[in-house]
Amino acid sequence: MVFASIVFLYYYLPLVLIAYFFAPHRAKNTVLLLASLFFYFYGEPVYLILMLIAAYSAYRHGLYIDKFRGRKYARLLLVSSLVVSIGLLVFFKYADFLLANINVLFNTNFARLNLVQPIGISFYTFQILSYTIEVYRDQVKVQKSFAKFLLYVSFFPQLIAGPIVRYTTVAADLESRTHSWVGFAGGVRRFIIGLAKKVLLANVLGELCSSFKMSDEKSVLFFWLYALAFTLQIYFDFSGYSDMAIGMGKFFGFRFPENFNYPYIAKSITEFWRRWHISLSTWFRDFLYIPLGGNRVSTPRWLFNVLVVWLATGLWHGAAWNFVVWGLAFACLLVLEKYFLRSFLSKLPPFLVHFYVIFCVMLSFFIFNAESINDALSSLQAMLGLAGLPLCSTETLYYLQSYAVVISAAVVGSTPLPKLAAEKLKSIKHGRLLINLAEPVVLTALLLIVTAYLVDGSFNPFLYFRF
């Protein structure tokens, strides 16, 4: 079940909200737990058992780590918990990738398992890992109720697409939380904006990307148009889902962390990764980069740390070599910025610095979305005009004209300009009243337009289901 669907918007979510707010205080967590388990069962009935096994393993390990705190057994239990959690992730997500590469390296003929990747396994595994590690570090009290811990792992707003919520963030909310009309209204606003980003921008840009892939009349300009469209699509697709998750969290009194902060206005690749998929970046920083020594080590060791983190980041997104190359490419850019480019970039005009960031990001996402390394290389060759393609074509001009308005809206929407304009209007006399009157109308209109798109059965993929 996806958020941007009629079934979710007009059947599942209203029923959950009714059941939740009519339930007595002591039963609210139970309502959310049952709703979350049904949500996952609806999309992955078999793999619900896998998620329950992973959650129960972490829960029991947490109890024993707390019991043997300060003794050598606690460390062994932590290792045991990590082995179980990471082992399940590796088996179900990377088994075929590993088997394929073993066959190539050793000329063997192991049959692939052809496992269907469980939806959301990368997200809920990282939440489980953060819990057991923070219990071991004594940064959070152990959760003695399996029902509450399972709710943390399976909570449907952020189960399939994040943000990656740490137990420390929601520990207090699991025990007791407050509800208010102001908070609920803020959640509705955030949810509808995220839904509109997903359906009205990401999905439409996705149509352009699909048209490019099916086209037999590609040109150099068409490749660049596709690169721009996909760069915008993945941002609005993923940030839209994050907005919806954060908004739904507010419905039920939970506060989730922000996951995006206008990454396309960054002035360096380093800054870009402080703004893009923030919950993943901070997870790797706190649970991998810093434990490896961070930047408080010798230069060779620091380079090793960066390499490991970005290799892991690439593999987290998918079991394919293009994801590995994508992650290592960012590692190289970050190293270059630290030692060579930082002083050079500081002397350039802002628009050139921004061009450098967007250019690198667009090329990286081309690699990210490629079917294979060979596909990525041939596409990059075409983008640089080295594949014998014409600079432009009639079909390219047609799609450029057809999608110009949507692309322009997406470019503006990926910046803080709409937010700044609204804040400026609020500071003007009667501006706040105008916004307060217009906001419900605009949000209602957006919801109706989105509904029309979904009823029409329009193109409605979700990119991060792949990862």
What confidence score (pLDDT) does residue 467 get? Answer: 54
Tell me which of 71 and 336 has the higher pLDDT.
Answer: 336
Sign of CA dihedral 344, 349, 352, 356: positive
- Smallest Cα–Cα separation from 400: which of 283, 248, 265, 229? 229
Same-domain status, 213 and 362: yes
* Residue 190 and residue 250 in one domain: yes
User: Are 333 and 402 in a shared domain?
Assistant: yes
Q: Is 461 helix (H, G, I), strand (E, B) or coil?
A: coil
163 cis-preceded (ω within 30 degrees of 0): yes
Asked whether residue 140 is assigned to any structural domain, the reply reads yes
Task: Please report, in angstroms and rounded to a whole number, the separation of the first and last CA atoms in the chain.
Answer: 16
Q: Do the domain assignments include residue 316?
A: yes
> Which pLDDT belongs to residue 164?
95
Of 177, 211, 243, the last residue of a domain is 177
Whether 61 is a known active-site residue: answer no
Same domain, 283 and 371: yes
Residue 460 has pLDDT above 70, yes or no: no
Same domain, 242 and 321: yes
- Please state, in angstroms and rounded to a whole number, the distance separating the CA atoms of residues 291 and 160: 27
Evaluate whether residue 467 is within a structural domain.
no
Does 466 map to a domain?
no
C-alpha gyration radius of the chain:
23
229 and 191 inside one domain: yes
CA torsion sign for 226, 229, 235, 238 is negative
Quick one: pLDDT band at residue 461, thresholds 50, 70, 90?
A: low
Catalytic residue among 25, 317, 354, 430: 317
Please report the pLDDT score of residue 274 as a whole number: 96
Q: Under a CB-based contact definition with an 8 Å cutoff, are residues 123 and 162 in contact?
A: yes
Reduced 3-state DSSP string for 186-213: HHHHHHHHHHHHHHHHHHHHHHHHHHHH
pLDDT for 459: 60
Measured CA to CA, the distance from residue 273 to residue 464 in angstroms comes to 18
Tokens linked to 275 = 């703004």
User: What confidence score (pLDDT) does residue 58 get?
Assistant: 97
Residues 114 and 197 in one domain: no
- At residue 456 the predicted structure's pLDDT band, cuts being 50, 70 and 90, is confident
Q: Which letter does DSSP use for residue 142 in this model?
A: P
- The half-sphere exposure of 158 on its side-chain side, counting CA atoms within 13 A, is 32
3 state DSSP class of 241: helix
386 membership: H or E segment, kind and range: none
Mean pLDDT of 445-464: 80
Domain boundary among the residues 131, 147, 177 is at 177
- Per the prediction, the chain carries an average pLDDT of 93
Same domain flag for 61 and 167: yes
pLDDT at residue 463 in the model: 63
Which own/partner contact pairs does 389-393 have at CB distance under 8 Å and 24+ positions apart? 389/218, 389/219, 389/220, 389/223, 390/219, 390/220, 391/219, 391/220, 391/221, 392/219, 392/220, 392/221, 392/222, 393/217, 393/218, 393/219, 393/221, 393/222
Considering the domain architecture, whether residues 355 and 255 belong to the same structural domain is answered as yes
For 366-396, the pLDDT digits (tens) are 899 988 888 889 988 999 888 889 999 999 9
pLDDT digits (tens, 9 = 90+) for 110-152: 999 988 889 999 999 999 999 999 999 999 999 999 999 999 9
Residue 462 lies in a domain: no
Q: Residues with Cβ < 8 Å from 405, sequence gap 6 or more? A: none
Domain assignment present for 464: no
Average of per-residue pLDDT across 90-108: 94
Q: In terms of residue numbers, what domain contains 429?
A: 183-455
165 and 203 both lie in a single domain: no
Per-residue model confidence (pLDDT) at position 464: 57
- The 10s digit of each residue's pLDDT in 271-307 is 999 999 999 999 999 999 999 999 999 999 999 999 9
135 and 233: one domain?
A: no
Q: Residue 465's pLDDT is what?
A: 55
* Size (the chain), residues: 467
Domain total of the chain: 2
Of 177, 212, 244, the last residue of a domain is 177
Instruction: Answer yes or no: do 142 and 40 share one domain.
Output: yes
